[in-house]
Structure 1
């Protein structure tokens, strides 16, 4: 037990665990919608879209999270503008801005003499450097996420199941989509400090995929994803401590592995409970569009 508990006796590891848990809860809520709506590519683009803002903030001495928020917001507005005025498909618009933002961020970082250090922290995060101010910002982000997700839940469900029906019901699917993109942006910016811009999507997708193997309902999936994400943070920090590996990358890898492990366990359970080889009933098949609250 001492091997498990000793690392968490250190103050900066305690802050990393608390900050990572806050990130995991935010990503558990938002990641569930990302999986259901098929928005993984958008999440990845947002993660790279904030790179120029983080780079400029890092080099000029401004708070990196402020730069990340501004840059990610500009990325989301740019995607919308290209789709409306350029008449480009969503994936084309996202792909263009994704590469442009990543390139611009690296160009800005390369202007610094501390290029290697800055690039490593920006791309892969520094969860062990989370301080009290970052914890406050993460707590605020969590409160905003919970409030917005609760208020927009009905509209998000209708948007996911049938956007045309949502329009008929007066739920304004276009506005709901914009708010959902805003939540993705908030989650990506919140997770930046913990796992960096390259690994944010791991926290968004891994726990949500893992939770989706065990429940069909949206809110329980969010709760389970948050718990799995928090456990991934704790396990990742332990592995990083004992194996002397990069903490943020280890946490992100553990989160991704949680999805693979959960899928494997679920498949094994199905095989053991259905020895005749017949297909399992629809009630236990996850990730269907017909999920309800």
Structure 2
């Protein structure tokens, strides 16, 4: 029991746990729509496309949160504009913006003397250095994400099922897609400076994907994703404490491992259900 509870008697580990739980809830709410909508590549691109804004804010001593928000906003606008082009597929436009923004960010960061440290902090964050104000910001972001998801539930669901049908029903799929982009931006921007883009993207994708085989309703998928995310946070922090590994990367790795375990268990369940079916009677 001491092995399990000992690390969480330390104040900064407790704050790290609470921040991980809040990020898990935010990412469960947002990531479920990302997975169902097939926007995984977009989520990855947006999480890394914030680097130019973060780098500029860091070099000029400005707010990293503001820099990330501006850069993510530019990325979202670029995706929207290129997505309307008939000559380019959406994936091609996202890929171009992804490479361009990431390259620009690395160029800006390389001008500083702490290139490796700054880039490592951007990717992996420092979940063990979470402050009380960070927890407040994450709580506000969770409330906002929940509100947007509830208000836009019908539109998001119709957008997932059939965009043309959503347009026929008057649910304004373009506006719904823009709101979904805003939801992804909110989740990434409010979480990255605490846990890094790697952990944000890991919790945005892995827990919903792990919960998807076990649920048929979107709210149930979100609840399952939240449980998987919180489990990954608790186990990841525990392992990182005892193994002396990077906390953010360990949490992300545990989230991915949980996905593979869930997918394997779901596949085994399907095979057993098929084997349990009675064989058809022979015709006489």
Within a 5 Å distance, the mapping from 1:102-121 to structure 2 comes to 102-121=102-121
Any stretches of 5+ residues in structure 2 without a counterpart?
Answer: 279-284
> Corresponding residue for 1:244?
244
Within a 5 Å distance, the mapping from 1:193-208 to structure 2 comes to 193-208=193-208
> Corresponding residue for 1:154?
154
- Answer whether contact 2:72 2:185 (CA < 8 A) is retained: yes
- Answer whether contact 1:127 1:194 (CA < 8 A) is retained: yes
- Displacement over 4 Å in runs of 4+: none
Judged with a 3 Å threshold, the aligned counterparts in structure 2 of structure 1 residues 81 and 99 are, in CA distance, closer, same or farther, namely same
- Answer whether contact 2:51 2:101 (CA < 8 A) is retained: yes
Query: What are the Cα deviations for residues 67-118 of structure 1, in whole angstroms up to 9, with x where unaligned?
Result: 1111111100112223336852211111111001111111111111122211
> Corresponding residue for 2:43?
43
Any stretches of 5+ residues in structure 1 without a counterpart?
Answer: 279-293
Count of residue pairs the alignment pairs up: 278
SS in 2 for 1:275: helix
Instruction: Give the deviation of 1:195 after TM superposition.
Output: 3.5
146-155 or 267-276: which moved more?
A: 267-276
2: CA distance between counterparts of 1:240 and 1:66?
Answer: 30
2: CA distance between counterparts of 1:277 and 1:55?
Answer: 58
1: CA distance between counterparts of 2:93 and 2:264?
Answer: 35
Query: What are the Cα deviations for residues 231-272 of structure 1, in whole angstroms up to 9, with x where unaligned?
Result: 111110001101111111111111111111111122223334
- Answer whether contact 2:199 2:251 (CA < 8 A) is retained: no
1: CA distance between counterparts of 2:110 and 2:86?
Answer: 31
Within a 5 Å distance, the mapping from 1:1-293 to structure 2 comes to 1-84=1-84, 87-276=87-276
- Answer whether contact 1:50 1:197 (CA < 8 A) is retained: no
Q: Calculate the aligned-residue CA RMSD, in Å.
A: 1.6
- Answer whether contact 1:194 1:248 (CA < 8 A) is retained: no
2: CA distance between counterparts of 1:140 and 1:199?
Answer: 19
- Answer whether contact 1:44 1:201 (CA < 8 A) is retained: yes
- Answer whether contact 2:124 2:196 (CA < 8 A) is retained: yes
Instruction: Give the structure with higher Rg (CA).
Output: 2
- Answer whether contact 1:125 1:197 (CA < 8 A) is retained: yes
Query: What are the Cα deviations for residues 205-226 of structure 1, in whole angstroms up to 9, with x where unaligned?
Result: 1100111121111001001101
SS in 2 for 1:62: coil
